[in-house]
Structure 1
């Protein structure tokens, strides 16, 4: 969601849930977690994305020079390790890295991203939404294949699924799976700092915000 803040993303998902609750239609939502998203991007994928975006060669060369021969070390209680090379991922703490990450993600998902709000991407927070469990599962598998073909990895333990049973009818049988592993189904999910509930209410979010305010 270029040019938007977390508030817009939260507003859109809540509006969609409210509309479907009013219409008594179910929603199926998958929250994708990318494992160490910045650390996993292969350098060749970064350069590929630059070229696909038609980034001028002089800028590609400049950024390649920044990453050339990058070294680091680990500081331990017994002292520092010897330097070792970093050949993958984006530089942590660099102001340039969020822009590079957005550019890479934009190119990787170009052919699979649905319209907002059925698919929302805010930095590395990905939400997939559909009216059926089967279809949201199909989308999840498509995203898994696409992202993992470029070096990313979807977390099998932290990717979560929420079914909004607004029809209040018999519970729909079946699971959402990720590469053959059942995705954990949750009644609530903290999305961009806001608590979402499967029933569309906001009382959990209100309690969460009050508790957070009291801790300050």
Structure 2
């Protein structure tokens, strides 16, 4: 059974639930006049890089019957791919990592793998939220958040997954706090707003940027349909 932190490929749960959880956390912390620190983490090509052995390990950790695991393994037996370029198409070459593109099973396999290898690192929602390979970590203490972020990076690397540090960003509601946190010695980019899934989250909890973005998108779509300038 997947943890309650995962909102991707889970029946009755989706992006709206994850976004609402983040906004509710911001609101509650503001009411209590307590700061909150966020790390929005981005994995590098997780769908293309997750090792198959990690998938089989994760399925067993979730008590999936061995017969079903064997059926999944059959789907991944001896796959090949080719690259098409303007100069022509390459020869077939073997594939040994990643889930199949376009397969309805692929998102679920990745979600199960993510849950199995990070379950003990996950805090209760909404302090840890996952949507497939999107990870949000939150904490009331900056130093603790930094340790958690490093622990996640180390764990993912142990299982063949890589954190894209350049695209991982740090946000805090503490206006008196300066600087950022570090992962592997690299300081994360500090932002005042972040596009979390399909919604803009801001350090002050305001919805102004989100409303403006939606209005702008609606006008842009209307103009493209009507031809108006």
TM-score range, shorter chain: over 0.9
Match of 2:46 among 20, 26, 37: 37
User: What is the CA distance between 1:151 and its match in structure 2?
Assistant: 0.7
User: What is the CA distance between 1:133 and its match in structure 2?
Assistant: 0.9
Please state if 1:175 is matched with 2:199.
Answer: no
User: What is the CA distance between 1:174 and its match in structure 2?
Assistant: 4.2
CA offsets, 1:56-114, max 9 Å, x none? 12111111111111001011111111110101111111111011111111111111110
Please state if 1:12 is matched with 2:21.
Answer: yes
Match of 1:208 among 209, 213, 223: 213
The two structures, once aligned, show a CA RMSD in angstroms of: 1.2
Q: Which runs of 5+ in 1 are unaligned?
A: none
Match of 1:66 among 58, 61, 75: 75
Q: Which runs of 5+ in 2 are unaligned?
A: 1-5, 222-229
Partner of 1:163: 172
Cα distance in structure 2, aligned partners of 1:120 and 1:34: 14
Report the number of matched residues. Answer: 212
Cα distance in structure 2, aligned partners of 1:31 and 1:83: 37
SS of the equivalent of 2:152 reads helix
TM-score, length-scaled by structure 2: 0.89
User: What is the CA distance between 1:173 and its match in structure 2?
Assistant: 4.0
Partner of 1:135: 144
Partner of 1:95: 104
Conservation of the 8 A alpha-carbon contact between 2:37 and 2:172: yes
User: What is the CA distance between 1:190 and its match in structure 2?
Assistant: 0.6
Cα distance in structure 2, aligned partners of 1:173 and 1:31: 18
TM-score, length-scaled by structure 1: 0.94
Cα distance in structure 2, aligned partners of 1:99 and 1:174: 37
User: What is the CA distance between 1:148 and its match in structure 2?
Assistant: 1.1
